[in-house]
Amino acid sequence: MRAKDALGQYGERLAARHLRDAGLTIVATNWRCADGEIDIVARERDVVVICEVKTRRTDLFGTPAEAITRTKADRLRRLAMLWLRAHPVGAVADVRFDVVSVLLPKAGAPAVEHLRGAF
């Protein structure tokens, strides 16, 4: 496994734990289709949360969340529609797009930031 992939998987595990600790229910992780991947799908009461996780070792080139481009956000919106079609979830009042930013410094604890309704 490439180091980049291992870093991303570790960040996704931290993000899922953070979301559970915040009271969200994890519905799916690493959902893939021909058009791409959703890192985490969660529920918070009657809201489906589509969550993109970005993990970095440094913020030298900006925070992990700043790596979410408009193109990536648009792709996640399309993927969310595909996921919702494939997985009927019952009563849903809303769909929200969150970002969990994970910064893994060389020393010290990881910094996890949950941006609700990021785009």
Mean pLDDT value of segment 52-77 = 92
pLDDT bracket for residue 90 (50, 70, 90): confident
- Report phi then psi at 30, rounded to 5: 50, 45
Tokens read off for 59: 């913020």
Check whether 93 has a pLDDT greater than 80. no
Please give the tally of structural domains in the chain. 1
Instruction: Indicate the pTM of the whole model.
Output: 0.91
What confidence score (pLDDT) does residue 60 get? 83
Check whether 22 has a pLDDT greater than 90. yes
- Report phi then psi at 29, rounded to 5: -130, 145
CATH number of the domain within which 31 lies: 3.40.1350.10
- Taking a C-beta distance cutoff of 8 angstroms, is the pair 7, 105 a contact? no
- Taking a C-beta distance cutoff of 8 angstroms, is the pair 74, 32 a contact? no
> Which domain covers residue 73, as residue numbers?
3-115
What confidence score (pLDDT) does residue 5 get? 80
Helix (H, G, I), strand (E, B) or coil at 92: coil
pLDDT bracket for residue 37 (50, 70, 90): very high
Tokens read off for 90: 């019952």
Nearest C-alpha neighbor of 69 from the set 99, 49, 35, 95 = 99
What confidence score (pLDDT) does residue 59 get? 85
